[in-house]
Structure 1
Amino acid sequence: MKPRTPLLAALALAAALTPPLARPAQLMSAPVAVATPQDSAALVARLSALDARPGLTNDYSFRISSQHPGVVGQKITRAQHTYKGLRVFGSESVVVTNAAGEILSVAASDRRPGLAPQATTPSGITPPLPADLTPRLNSDDAIRAAVQAIAPAGTHRWPPGAELLIYPLMKSARTAAAANKPEDQLNALDLEEVVDRYALAWLVQLRMAQDGRLVYYDVVIDARDGSLIAKWPALQTVTGIGNSQYNGQVPISTSATASGFQMLDSTRGSGGKFGGMAITNANHSSPNNPDPGNVYTNSGNTWGDGKQYSGGSTTDANGQTAAVNALWGLMNTYDTNKNVLGWQSLDGNNTATYIAAHVGSAYDNAFYDDSCKCMYIGDGNSFYSLGAIDVIGHEMSHGVTASTADLIYAGESGGLNESNSDIGGEMVEAYARAGGTGNSVPASGNDWMMGKEISKSGQPLRWMYKPSKDGSSPDAWSANLKNLDVHYSSGPNNRMFYFLAQGSSADPASDYHSPYLTRAPAAMSGIGTDKAYRIWFKALTTKFTSSTNYADARNKVLQAAQELYGASSKEAIAVQRAYAAINVGADIDEAGDGGGGGGGGGQATERVVNGGFEDGATGWSGSTYVIGTHSAQPAYEGTRYAWLGGNGRRSSETLTQRVDIPAAATSAQLSFALHIDTAETSNTVYDTLTVSLRAAGGAALATLATYTNLTPAAGYQLRSFDLLPFKGQSVTLSFAMREDRSKQTSFVLDKVSLLTK
């Protein structure tokens, strides 16, 4: 290996030497600035360049839909896919960029006409692309059709909206490997969602009330004939759960007024309706059209009597108890995500929200309303008051989902939406009951049951460790899962999370046993609640799309574990085992290496030869002399790596490898570990590493990323890219480094992997 300019800082070297399991927890960034139109246009241009492929015309583009913080120094942008200017429903990319605006990774669900995997008719003809994109119904017609189908006698709480879009009607298709598998032996990875046909449609959002209840639905209306294509509920609710009357005296953060105090916490969140986190008195406002009312006030700063609401005044000590419950729950929800993850409020941008107590009379419900980004709580009738700590954590977690992945509230994605809220509720409960302080989720304090405290029978609404105990929720994935109510289809993922955190039992008679765990040991090991939550939250906020299903969730949660703890870490292995325990992917041995970060017991195939460089130049072409080892730089794994750059003079070095992506692939994930160190001090790009794909003839297919001297980092960072759009092609993977005439920049590459399924 040629001489190198030593890496600069001892601090950076010490950080790089830190093994994967000792890496500090990654916190989410502070609130991000709203992108300017110029910033959005620049990102769309970079995405379009990245997405360049045969058959892609100017008909295809992107539309920036939302932005939120990633880990420190990163931003997450969600870009909807468009075709001829119309959004393709459920088709989008999740883009991670650094402080310089460079793309670090892209996760996608691609359902665009002509590009997405499509089903075929018996004649072998693929579904036709939408030809005429002119609707025969206008938006008012579509709204009338939706109202007629959902709530003909209802009234609008919020003005209805209608968006013209291309709606892919999906169907499940077996993979080639599962073509002859018996139905009862199917695993979630044996099926893939494919486009059956496309429809020009109106997506109508109805936020109505009828017969004393809220009727919130998203409705898809055919733009040609006005027929109903699909509908799903948009009100995200939970029934029952206790409140802080079960937690004794609790500290609450209020603010002073001229005449006393109010339940306005100005230390948590900013802006919003009240300028801070607030609890309001709905004062029995009808659930048909609830009015949040005014912020709770009191002459003194002692609130409530700790007893179940008796039905009298909503402002005396007994009436204040529901508000105490709500504020304590809201504070702890905020603190859990802020102190543990660095995530501020529901949207990550620290926008304040509020909870309205005493909705209705003896109202047996609590719900999150994304129209106001707030929560309403009833006093209960069959249940006790619905302001319990895990219910508030549950409902507020719907707000996090709405601000990030925005999982469609139907089918498997709807089950994952509900499961995320159950997970959030349990994490908040654990954090609050351990004192509500610290930077980790405690290992105990929650009961892994939703609704136990408020249930007058003592029976919870859901058991996370054994969902089937409620009589309706399955313990594992099956092809019928997408047909269940989302509160039941959440069950398998709840169980997955419990196993990931706490482990399982080898005893077949135990509630904590899974018959799908067939490898050693029979009782899988958990990684602890704190790590499990970090992995899950990272996957939700930086990788999930609105249409993510169980199979996709498994792959993306695994990627999150690999990025946080290492490609072959015990945490990554535990994710594979936890999903295998619910029939999503195959089981593996804990003593194994995790299948190179995604093997899944034979479910994935590694396409890169010698990606860890342990066999020297084997499999690689170009400047292979950069492969080796050096005392100034540790490897990410093993002992060798590729050190591109670090010369401190004008130079260029390139490593390439030809890889094949099968036409039948349902997943193709490229990943690599990269450490960047530089001696450059100017805020100018001098040295670059370009990662790209080239066709068999040498023509450029796509530039995946360009890294520069402006993006150094202490230690390795895992980068990942979705290469499924290039399936059926033999491509050359290229890492090309260019240095200018002075001051070195080192691009140290290791653990290159392309896993296909």
Structure 2
Amino acid sequence: MTSHISRHVSRKRTTLALATAVAAGALLTGTLAASGAQAETATPSAPTAAPMSLSGKAHAGLVKDAQAEAADTAKALKLGSKEKLVVRDVVKDRDGTTHTRYERTYDGLPVLGGDLIVHTSKSGAREGVTRATHRSIDVATTGATLKAAPSGARKVVWAASGTPRLAYEKVVDSTDADGTPSRLHLITDARTGKKIYQYDDIRTDTGTGNSQYSGKVGIGTTKTGSGYALTDATRGGHSTYNLGGGSSGKGTLFTDSDDTWGDGTVNDPATAGVDAAYGAQETWDFYKKTFGRSGIRGDGKGAYSRVHYGNAYVNAFWDDSCFCMTYGDGQNNQHPLTSLDVAGHEMTHGVTSATAGLNYSGESGGLNEATSDIFGTAVEFYANNPSDPGDYLIGEKIDINGDGTPLRYMDKPSKDGSSLDYWSHRAGHVDVHYSSGIANHFFYLLSEGSGKKTINGVAYDSPTYDGSKVTGIGRDKADQIWYKALTTYFTSTTKYKDARAGTLKAASDLYGANSAEYKAVAAAWTAVNVK
């Protein structure tokens, strides 16, 4: 099961999926061999509770060691005799603390919503456990009362909501009306046959060589026998492919004779390839230099990008199954969805899938989408590109609405006409791209504070639910807090109240329980009515 879920695109207005965008430079020199495994290094100038930078080899070693001890860990947690733990990820902090994320099985069956995180000090003492569910699992996995499994379905234990129960999971592949591929997971009760839950694991959203959006940029390429390929060997081998209007397969790897790519317009198919490669490059560098994370899964391996998907396809998406980003060319094939914040957004869906696995439905789905907006924005600020300066607007370059307005606003999300500024009981019942507004608003307030201000030439005016004044702590600290919460305290079932608790714990770990940063996190959540 893919650990997070994507929505069906709303038809209320034209929407696009934020995929891994790449902006590339005109004249690009290509390339170095991939560097070998490196020793663990601490992220410079980071708090001691910030994650340590790990090479792919070091990360794999931690995962292997944790899996060797998984049986003992299960006993220590007093799990039942039929329950086993499977290590999914390990995060190690600079102070030696480790956070080991597990999936669970029961009598050999996957437990959906059974994930948990064990926090262990440098000395090896267990410091706490974060669980997706606190309910014990005791279900019969066979019996005459079971409904016949749907064709192609697998038997699972559903624990993400209510009392854990035996269920079937069936995956249905199809294509939406706008050409977006769909991979719908249907969960049904094994005894009654009634639907429990459903989600789509294709992540979609609306949505510089010579790039269209980021000007003339440098991009990683590789020398081949006859020229160059758009493959970045220094960033896990990320490659960019041209689908040429197709909708299946990888497409054709972009190649060039003189290592100068695109002309900055849609007339040259390589222009979109440049944007996609540049976006992937900047996103990789952001995660590596900010958090010490080597690639989407932390294993040093790059994803790949596909551009020119379909005909006038106004969308883009991340797909876990291919570990890839895919971009359409937008209205009239004139506005490819390959801007910098879109790239950061879509690749972050992959990071969320590899870490918290936030279910793409209800409040956890809103937090999933907000995480992509938050780090897509952070990538844009990190790149510091004069053609696309950092801002708290989402998709402002791709003209998704056809009138020059952005897709979303973080300072006051409701300016888009649909997103929520504050939490209410509606939060779990609206489209995840609209409930994401609550966390986007929180992040803006935590970073910049409330009221009027102008940043990089963009005017903002952020209100609060209770009329309170919030003083921001700066985006860099806010990034650290959200990332730590995502990777060490959020689970698949995290809701807004849990996100408040997780970010407060992260702020305490990083800056102290009596710090201004901790108090600012509390104030920003209260200001969006999450108490």
Q: TM-score, normalised by structure 1?
A: 0.58
Once the two structures are TM-superposed, the CA of residue 514 in structure 1 deviates from its matched residue by 0.5
Is residue 76 of structure 2 the alignment partner of residue 63 of structure 1?
no
Partner of 1:336: helix, strand, or coil?
A: helix
| 3-state SS of paired residue (1:324) | helix
- Cα deviation code 1:385-409 (max 9, x no counterpart): 1000000000000010111111111
Counterpart secondary structure, 1:547: coil
8 Å contact from structure 2 (residues 243, 308) kept in 1? yes
Instruction: State the 1:226 CA deviation.
Output: 3.1
Q: What's 2:13 paired with?
A: none
- Match for residue 554 of structure 1 among 490, 495, 500: 500
Q: Which residue of 2 aligns with 1:109?
A: 132
**2:113, 2:47 → 1: CA distance?**
38
Give CA-to-partner distance per residue, 1:596-643, whole Å, 9 cap, x none.
xxxxxxxxxxxxxxxxxxxxxxxxxxxxxxxxxxxxxxxxxxxxxxxx
Equivalent position to 1:136, from 146, 150, 155 = 146
Q: 2: CA distance between counterparts of 1:374 and 1:101?
A: 37
Alignment of 1:529 with 2:475, yes or no, is: yes
TM-superposed CA distance for 1:68, in Å, is 3.6
Paired letter, 2:186: V
The match for 1:259 among 213, 226, 229 is: 226
Alpha-carbon distance, 1:111 to partner:
4.0
1:552-591 mapped onto 2 (5 Å cutoff): 552-585=498-531
Q: Name the CA shift for 1:25/1:548 in 2 (closer, same or farther; >3 Å).
A: closer
Decide whether aligned partners of structure 1 residues 338 and 482 sit closer, same or farther in structure 2, where only a CA change above 3 A counts: same
Q: How far apart are 1:84 and its partner, in Å?
A: 4.7
Amino acid at match of 1:320: A
**Compared CA separation, residues 37 and 68, structure 1 to 2 (3 A):** closer
Q: Secondary structure of 1:45's match? A: helix
How many Å separate the matches in 2 of 1:234 and 1:36? 25
Q: Paired residue for 1:463? A: 409
Does residue 390 in structure 1 map to residue 334 in structure 2?
no
Letter in 2 for 1:540: L
Alpha-carbon distance in structure 2 between the residues aligned to 1:39 and 1:505: 47
Counterpart Cα distance in 1 of 2:214 and 2:66: 48
Q: Residue 397 of structure 2 corresponds to which residue in structure 1? A: 453
Residues 246 and 58 (structure 1), Cα distance of their counterparts in 2 relative to 1, 3 Å cut: closer
Q: 1:435 to 1:96 in 2, by over 3 A?
A: farther
Aligned partners of 1:88 and 1:112 also within 8 Å: no
Q: Displacement, 1:447?
A: 1.6
Partner of 2:309: 359
Question: 1:224-243 alignment to 2 at 5 Å?
Answer: 224-240=191-207
Question: Quick one: structure 1 residues 467 and 449, their matched pair in 2 at CA, closer, same or farther if it must change by over 3 Å?
Answer: same
Residue number among 412, 417, 433 corresponding to 1:487 in the alignment: 433
Aligned to 2:181: 214
Q: Which amino acid aligns with 2:287?
A: N
| Distance in 2 separating the partners of 1:306 and 1:21 | 38
1:414-429 paired onto structure 2 within 5 Å? 414-429=365-380
CA distance in 2 between counterparts of 1:169 and 1:96 reads 21
**Do the aligned residues in 1 keep the contact of 2:367 with 2:495 (CA within 8 Å)?**
yes
8 Å contact from structure 1 (residues 93, 108) kept in 2: yes
Q: Report the Cα distance in structure 2 between the residues aligned to 1:548 and 1:525, rounded to whole angstroms.
A: 26
SS at match of 2:311: coil
1:105-142: per-residue Cα shift (whole Å, max 9, x none)?
4222224347xxxxxxxxxxxxxx64564473455x25
Partner of 2:24: none
Cα pair 1:29 1:74 within 8 Å, conserved: no
> Would you say the 8 A contact 2:139–2:166 is kept in 1?
yes
Instruction: State the 1:101 CA deviation.
Output: 6.1
Tell me which residue corresponds to 2:25. none
Aligned to 1:92: 115
Task: Provide the residue aligned with 1:48 in structure 2.
Answer: 75
Q: Is 1:283 aligned with 2:244?
A: yes
Cα distance, 1:470 vs structure 2: 1.3
Paired letter, 2:230: M
SS where residue 544 of structure 1 aligns?
coil
Q: Is residue 330 of structure 2 the alignment partner of residue 330 of structure 1?
A: no
Corresponding residue SS for 2:286: helix
The structure where helix makes up a greater share of residues is: 2
Provide the TM-score with structure 2 as the length reference.
0.82
> For residue 12 of structure 2, what is the aligned residue in structure 1?
none
**8 Å CA contact 1:69, 1:349 repeated in 2:** no
Question: Contact (CA 8 Å) 1:407, 1:416: kept in 2 or not?
Answer: yes
- Specify which structure has the bigger relative contact order, considering alpha-carbon pairs within 8 angstroms and separated by 6 or more residues: 2
Equivalent position amino acid for 2:169 in 1: L
Q: Give the aligned partner of residue 671 of structure 1.
A: none
- Following the alignment from structure 1 to structure 2, what is the Cα–Cα distance between the partners of residues 341 and 481? 30
Shift of 1:513: 1.3
Q: Which residue of 1 aligns with 2:355?
A: 404
CA distance in 1, matches of 2:274, 2:47: 40
Q: Distance in 1 between matches of 2:84 and 2:489?
A: 17
Q: 2:389 and 2:476 mapped to 1: Cα distance? A: 13
Q: Distance between the aligned counterparts of 2:223 and 2:148, measured in 1?
A: 52
The aligned counterpart of 2:35 is: none
* Residue number in structure 2 paired with 1:474: 420
Residues 439-488 of structure 1: CA distance to partner in whole angstroms, max 9, x if unpaired? xxxxx942211111111311111111111111111111111211111111
- Aligned partner letter, 2:182: V
Q: Against the structure 1 CA distance between its residues 424 and 206, is the aligned structure 2 distance closer, same or farther, given a 3 Å change threshold?
A: farther
Quick one: structure 1 residues 349 and 100, their matched pair in 2 at CA, closer, same or farther if it must change by over 3 Å?
farther
Structure 1 counterpart of 2:168, from 199, 202, 207 = 202
- What's the secondary structure of 1:230's corresponding residue? strand
Q: Is contact 2:362–2:428 with CA below 8 Å preserved after alignment?
A: yes
* Rounded Cα–Cα distance in structure 2 between residues aligned with 1:131 and 1:253: 54
* Residue equivalent to 1:164: 155
Distance 1:526 1:388 in 2: 27
Note closer, same or farther for the CA distance 1:77–1:377 as it changes in structure 2 (3 Å cut): same
- Which ranges of structure 1 fall in alignment gaps of 5 or more residues? 1-19, 115-128, 144-161, 171-194, 270-275, 311-317, 437-443, 586-757
Q: Say which structure is richer in strand.
A: 1
SS at match of 1:77: strand
Does structure 1 conserve the Cα–Cα contact (< 8 Å) formed by 2:306 and 2:325?
yes
Q: Does the 8 Å CA contact 1:217/1:234 hold for their aligned counterparts?
A: yes
Say yes or no: does 1:320 pair with 2:270.
yes
Other-structure match for 1:6: none
Counterpart amino acid of residue 136 in structure 1: L
Whole-angstrom CA distance in 2 between matches of 1:85 and 1:491: 39
SS, match of residue 518 in structure 2: helix
SS at match of 2:321: coil
Instruction: Determine which structure has more spread, i.e. the larger CA radius of gyration.
Output: 1
Aligned equivalents of 1:39, 1:394: Cα separation in 2: 31
Q: Secondary structure at the match of 1:460?
A: coil
Deviations 1:44-63 (A, max 9, x none): 313422x24xxx6535x332
What percent of counterpart residues are identical?
A: 39
In 2: Cα distance, 1:28 partner to 1:253 partner:
22
Q: Is the Cα–Cα contact under 8 Å of residues 409 and 415 in structure 1 kept in the other structure?
A: yes
What corresponds to 2:27 in structure 1?
Answer: none
Shift of 1:100: 7.5
Relative to 1, partners in 2 of residues 1:471 and 1:569: Cα closer, same or farther, differing over 3 Å?
Answer: same
Partners of 1:397 and 1:169 in 2: how far apart? 23
Deviation at 1:82, TM superposition (A): 4.6
Partner AA of 2:256 in structure 1? N
In structure 2, list runs of 5 or more residues that go unmatched. Answer: 1-44, 454-459
Matched AA of 2:55: A
Cα distance between partner residues in 1 of 2:394 and 2:54: 30
Aligned position for 2:10: none
**Which of 298, 323, 329 pairs up with 1:373?**
323
Letter in 2 for 1:40: Q
In structure 2, distance between residues paired with 1:80 and 1:358: 36
Deviation for aligned residue 1:34: 5.5
How many angstroms does 1:233 deviate by? Answer: 2.2
What letter corresponds to residue 392 of structure 1 in structure 2? Answer: A
Letter paired with 2:220: S
For the structure 1 residues 552 and 44, does the alpha-carbon distance in structure 2 shift closer, same or farther, using more than 3 Å as the test? farther
Distance 1:263 1:486, change over 3 A: same
Determine the C-alpha separation between the residues in 1 that align with 2:517 and 2:65.
Answer: 40
